[in-house]
Structure 1
Amino acid sequence: MVADSVSFKDKVFKVVGKISSSRHMVALRDGIAQVVPLLIIGSLFMIIGQFPIKGYLDFMAKTFGSNWNLVIQQITFASFSLMGLIAVIGISYNLAKSYGDVAPLPATLISMSAFFLTIPFELKKGAFYIPLSQMGATSLFIAILVGLFITDFYVWLVHKDLTIKMPATVPPAVSSSFTSLFPGFFCLVLVWLIRLGVSFTPIETIPGLMQFIFKPLSAVGVSLPGALLCELLISVLWLFGVHGGNVVGGVMMAFWLQAMQQNATAFTAHKELPNIITAQFFDNFVHIGGAGATLGLALLMVLFSKSEEYKTLGRLEIVPALFNINEPIIFGTPIVLNIYLAVPFILAPIANVLITYFAMATGLCAKTIGIMVPWTTPVIISGFLSTGHISGAITQVVCLVVDALIYYYFFKVADRKNLNSDLG
């Protein structure tokens, strides 16, 4: 019976491992990652324009005029509002490149055109305009679908030789552009037909269709039960050596980034922030030290280890852990398949979810203001920057202390086992 159970687990996590390393999941992960530098740049200018100190804001308004922050935040608008566009480019390029025998740039340009074709144009004074708001976080699901499916359709057409073959004397750039002519034509016609079909329904637009389909899942993704389930899956997958953040984040990141942009929009308009669960909620408050909230464990190793193994590992891990990099502790301890540390590895981040959520829900801690604080930013600093308030840093400290307390008993048991092994 035990053997059957182990065999079932091996089969399940072998399947999960294959999914997480599949070309489409990798393209999705790497493509959305291209958005992060733009969000960080935009966040820096949001901080400059909305720094939460009244004396600073008054000084800037007196010096540069009452609309000074609108000028500063033009870069914020130009970066946050292109989230979907950059995502479709990144996803399509990485997916096309993964096939090896298809030029990635033409496939990317076709996918980008298909993405624009999904946006409802606005007619003003006899000219068509593309609303900037339709290219931001609200369009991430469309960007993901277009980036994956249109790129695959394009590659399939190329593999079917529906291309124009140019003589060998023609320059490669010209030849490549003609190779994409027929596949690109069929890809754009397909999206155009879908757009026409949706226009005859009460929903009318493709963005409206996506909102109708994904609204229930979005509501779950930014809820407390959804956050707890996501964190449980992340930790359990890591315990079997699968990168849980990549697997779960690949599915849920679009929801969390959209919630982040909604908070950023509300913050710049000086309105109440609508969301607690955002990308920063997980990066800066739940994963303190990385997946499993292992900074508390790293501190225990440095301060209380009796065994030479944990003393050495603690000294090696503490600096990376401060920057939320914890692969050394996950694989070096190891935490993977470690029955002594599996329980706190699951419980600590779940405790962080509960503490942070209720602190923000009750007003004890400010909500994240939509600034993309890099996930490698050390604790306390990231808490203050992501919320614009000292309560963010205090909440992180509370979470860190709770994490250490959760790990303490299990750490002592594992440390004693190692010490006995050293003595034996």
Structure 2
Amino acid sequence: MLLTTFFNQFNQSAVKLSSNTIILSLREGYIALIPFFIVASVITLLNQWFNIADKTGNHVFLNEFNLLVWALFPLITLISFSYYLSKNLQLHTIAAPVLVVTCFCASTGYVYVDSTGINVDNKSGVLYSILMPIFCCYSLRYFSSIKALKLVGISTISLFLRKHLNLIFPFLLVSMLTLLITPYVSELGRFILTSMISDTVATSTFEKVSLQMIMAHTLWFFGVHGDNAYHILAPVSYTDYEVLAGLTSYNFFSVFVLLGGTGCIWGLIIACYLIKDAEHERSIARISAPLAVFNISEVMIYALPIVFNPYFIIPFLLTPILNGGIAFLLIDNGFLVLSSSESIPWFTPVILSGWMATHNWTGIALQLLLIALNVAIYYPFVLANKRLNITGKSLDILVKRYSAGLSVEGQAEQSFASAHSKKLVEQYSLKAVTDTLNSGALALYYQPKIDPTTQKIIGFEALLRLIKSNGEVVGPWFLATLEHNNLMQVIDDFVIDQLEVDLGNFARNGFKPKISFNISPQNLLDGGYKRVVKAFSRYPNQVEVEILESSYIEDFDATIDLVKHLNEHNIECAMDDFGTGYSCLSVLSKLNVNTIKLDRSLLPEHGNSKSVMLYQHLAKICDELGFNIVAEGVENDLHEDVVKKAKIQCAQGFLYNKALPFNIVLELLQKQHKP
């Protein structure tokens, strides 16, 4: 019972951690850098094997290539992390990273100029590559929200120009704060480091080995290249020393501790293969295995991922400690005799390195024993990760099936990480949605809009439906889950694409019906309007975008500009669900939409005279302000009678028709237009 309680608490903490915006952005940023890590490692290996630099003077710089790569690593990390953090905070994804890089270079001393020219001091950048984006991006978001710091309000200049002019004061304030605070942060860091590590205090070999294993792996877990960062930050006496007589720390870690690379990755790879149905883990293991032969572990660390994955923190720290402790005891007590003190390159494959160190089967046997123990340690944690984390596979299928482009690819990892809810019961909600969507098929149905006086069809609203594998047609119950996981763009893309196809089919049959449709407000404001214009500007005044009333409350100016832009391209707009709680009559005079859709909740029940009067007056106000009016939710004769008395000429609801498939709608139009 105690173990179960602990594990449940751990799961809840893991969910909160993996859903954090900073953690999510770091994971995305480091995954984006995987090609860089692999290419840099391969170039280093090729130079080591074939001695390219010494064989041709044209490539002499390759001797220092590894040093150059890891000197630039803080800057590369900074840019990648800044981009994804600004994206997830809904900041400008170019302006924010530029600000971060500027503050980083100006305040840390990472780049400096002396008599020899422009130089890089990677010691000054290794930790700020994480701290600087966090501080700058969150500060920029805060200052950008202060109206007093905006240079330009609503004016005749473009929205794009206005947005960037309004960044000037926030940029200045963030830069000044960074320059002011950074020296104090640096002093604090130096104080902490000197308190932990000092050349003047006698330290045992065991303490040095333990500190190096724990510090390097902890830095790796937090996304920092732990081995290089530790060698940069720690004194030489803590990075280059003899573990035992004739055994350097370099050989000790390369041959007997980091089997497969940082985190003892061979144990993790084998554990992934042993677990049934662990498709995601196995796929990463298959990619990682060829590189792990040469002790390159970045793919497993960033793609599985291990970085900021609470399910792997224990085995990731425990396996090297176990390997180091067992190897140290066996060598120190004479059970394993080393035959060579020559440096064995870190990229030497396991088994070969064991033989080179001992010239005996005992070295190989020890490596195999340690790998087996690593597998046993990793196995339960891989199993827990597999059971409690939702892999990206079902999301990939969903994107491929319903999205015409790659525009949601940038959010796939975000959805992968943030799919977990705070409650364990909700952890599988996204998986349930994607499984349901992938087993069925999305479709657009059309609900007729009727003139209540003539009973003729005057338009349609396009509504999303799911056709399940058994043929049952259901409403879009899954939208809330997709919106929570930032995947609504997949659905919006499908709706736009399908509506464009159907409009073409209507035209080929001689009809030009006016059709309204919904799109996620956030996607629309974030650039989805461009796709709408591209798809429907060739159907002038035939398409109407329904915009939720809440969009005006959240960003009134941006919504006004958006409607104006769509109108300029002959695409009309309607305010959807007017009267659902956000309504403010004073707003009506400022709106530039073409149509107001009165929500069904405004229709009176049981002949309530006050409700009837309110409905009629709202309709009259909207009409006198020049809006077209649509009565939603007309379900009975009483509703229709109220709508007629309010002189509304367009209504929709179950009294007339439910949403219908395209072929039925086409038949209705053909029937109505028969002479």
- The answer to whether structure 1 residue 295 and structure 2 residue 270 are counterparts is yes
Q: Select 2:372's aligned residue among 396, 404, 410.
A: 404
- The answer to whether structure 1 residue 187 and structure 2 residue 174 are counterparts is yes
Residue in 2 that maps onto 1:131: 119
Residue in 1 that maps onto 2:41: 43
1: CA distance between counterparts of 2:167 and 2:325? 51
Contact kept, 8 Å, 1:295 with 1:318, in 2: the verdict is no
Q: Does the residue aligned with 1:82 lie in a helix, a strand or coil?
A: helix
Residue in 1 that maps onto 2:485: none
Residue in 1 that maps onto 2:8: 10
How far did residue 183 of structure 1 move? 1.1
2: CA distance between counterparts of 1:396 and 1:286? 19
The 1:317/1:91 distance shift into structure 2, 3 A limit, reads: closer
How far did residue 317 of structure 1 move? 8.2
Residue in 2 that maps onto 1:115: 104
Residue in 1 that maps onto 2:583: none
Q: What is the correspondence of 1:148-187 to structure 2 with a 5 Å cutoff?
A: 148-161=134-147, 162-165=149-152, 170-171=157-158, 173-187=160-174
1: CA distance between counterparts of 2:211 and 2:11? 22
Contact kept, 8 Å, 2:108 with 2:124, in 1: the verdict is no
Q: What is the correspondence of 1:17-96 to structure 2 with a 5 Å cutoff?
A: 17-51=15-49, 57=51, 61=54, 64-65=56-57, 70-73=60-63, 76=66, 78-96=68-86
How far did residue 174 of structure 1 move? 3.3
Q: Does the residue aligned with 1:140 lie in a helix, a strand or coil?
A: coil
How far did residue 368 of structure 1 move? 6.1
2: CA distance between counterparts of 1:360 and 1:407? 23
RMSD: 5.4
How far did residue 149 of structure 1 move? 1.4
1: CA distance between counterparts of 2:191 and 2:219? 22
Q: Which 5+ residue runs of structure 2 have no aligned equivalent?
A: 237-246, 290-298, 305-309, 333-337, 380-675
Question: Would you tell me which structure has more strand in proportion to its own residues?
Answer: 2
2: CA distance between counterparts of 1:115 and 1:11? 38
How far did residue 188 of structure 1 move? 0.8
Contact kept, 8 Å, 2:53 with 2:63, in 1: the verdict is no
Contact kept, 8 Å, 1:383 with 1:396, in 2: the verdict is yes
Q: C-alpha deviations, 1:292-318, integer Å up to 9, x for none?
A: xx61785xx6xxxxxxxx8x7699987
- Give me the TM-score of the superposition, normalised by structure 1: 0.57
Q: Give the partner amino acid of 2:372.
A: A
Contact kept, 8 Å, 1:286 with 1:349, in 2: the verdict is yes
Q: Give the partner amino acid of 1:192.
A: L
Q: What is the correspondence of 1:307-386 to structure 2 with a 5 Å cutoff?
A: 321=285, 323=288, 350-354=321-325, 366=343, 369=346, 381=349
2: CA distance between counterparts of 1:344 and 1:88? 28
2: CA distance between counterparts of 1:289 and 1:173? 51
Question: Would you tell me which structure has more helix in proportion to its own residues?
Answer: 1
Contact kept, 8 Å, 1:259 with 1:277, in 2: the verdict is no
2: CA distance between counterparts of 1:147 and 1:396? 45
Contact kept, 8 Å, 2:140 with 2:171, in 1: the verdict is yes
Q: Give the partner amino acid of 1:163.
A: K
1: CA distance between counterparts of 2:196 and 2:73? 20
How far did residue 79 of structure 1 move? 2.9
1: CA distance between counterparts of 2:186 and 2:108? 7
Contact kept, 8 Å, 2:219 with 2:226, in 1: the verdict is no
- Give me the TM-score of the superposition, normalised by structure 2: 0.38
Q: Give the partner amino acid of 1:96.
A: S
How far did residue 262 of structure 1 move? 8.8
How far did residue 154 of structure 1 move? 1.1
Contact kept, 8 Å, 2:82 with 2:137, in 1: the verdict is yes
1: CA distance between counterparts of 2:278 and 2:142? 50
Contact kept, 8 Å, 2:74 with 2:129, in 1: the verdict is yes
1: CA distance between counterparts of 2:248 and 2:99? 37
Residue in 2 that maps onto 1:146: 132
Q: Give the partner amino acid of 2:126.
A: L
Contact kept, 8 Å, 1:49 with 1:70, in 2: the verdict is no
Q: What is the correspondence of 1:234-253 to structure 2 with a 5 Å cutoff?
A: 249-251=220-222, 253=224
The 1:82/1:273 distance shift into structure 2, 3 A limit, reads: farther
Q: Does the residue aligned with 1:71 lie in a helix, a strand or coil?
A: helix
Residue in 2 that maps onto 1:225: 210
2: CA distance between counterparts of 1:119 and 1:368? 34
2: CA distance between counterparts of 1:357 and 1:365? 18
Q: Give the partner amino acid of 2:119.
A: P
Contact kept, 8 Å, 1:153 with 1:187, in 2: the verdict is yes
Q: C-alpha deviations, 1:315-344, integer Å up to 9, x for none?
A: 9987864535999xx9xxxxx99xxxxx99
The 1:360/1:18 distance shift into structure 2, 3 A limit, reads: farther
Residue in 2 that maps onto 1:340: none
What number of residue pairs does the alignment pair up?
328
Residue in 2 that maps onto 1:421: none
Residue in 1 that maps onto 2:95: 106
The 1:174/1:284 distance shift into structure 2, 3 A limit, reads: same
Q: Does the residue aligned with 1:20 lie in a helix, a strand or coil?
A: helix
1: CA distance between counterparts of 2:320 and 2:212? 11
How far did residue 118 of structure 1 move? 1.9
Q: C-alpha deviations, 1:367-395, integer Å up to 9, x for none?
A: 665xxx8xxxxxx75887xx8x9659x97
1: CA distance between counterparts of 2:191 and 2:38? 30
1: CA distance between counterparts of 2:315 and 2:164? 55
Q: Does the residue aligned with 2:125 lie in a helix, a strand or coil?
A: helix
2: CA distance between counterparts of 1:209 and 1:111? 21
2: CA distance between counterparts of 1:297 and 1:99? 34
Contact kept, 8 Å, 1:107 with 1:180, in 2: the verdict is no
Q: C-alpha deviations, 1:211-231, integer Å up to 9, x for none?
A: 4434556899x9543577689
Q: C-alpha deviations, 1:114-156, integer Å up to 9, x for none?
A: 101123365546x9x6521x2x365221121111112111111
The 1:188/1:351 distance shift into structure 2, 3 A limit, reads: same
Q: Give the partner amino acid of 1:46.
A: T
How far did residue 70 of structure 1 move? 3.0
Q: Which 5+ residue runs of structure 1 have no aligned equivalent?
A: 199-205, 232-244, 266-271, 302-309, 331-335, 338-342, 374-379, 412-424
Contact kept, 8 Å, 2:30 with 2:81, in 1: the verdict is yes
2: CA distance between counterparts of 1:108 and 1:319? 32
Q: Does the residue aligned with 1:210 lie in a helix, a strand or coil?
A: helix
How far did residue 50 of structure 1 move? 3.5
1: CA distance between counterparts of 2:328 and 2:280? 32
Contact kept, 8 Å, 1:23 with 1:98, in 2: the verdict is yes
2: CA distance between counterparts of 1:297 and 1:40? 21
Sequence identity percentage: 15
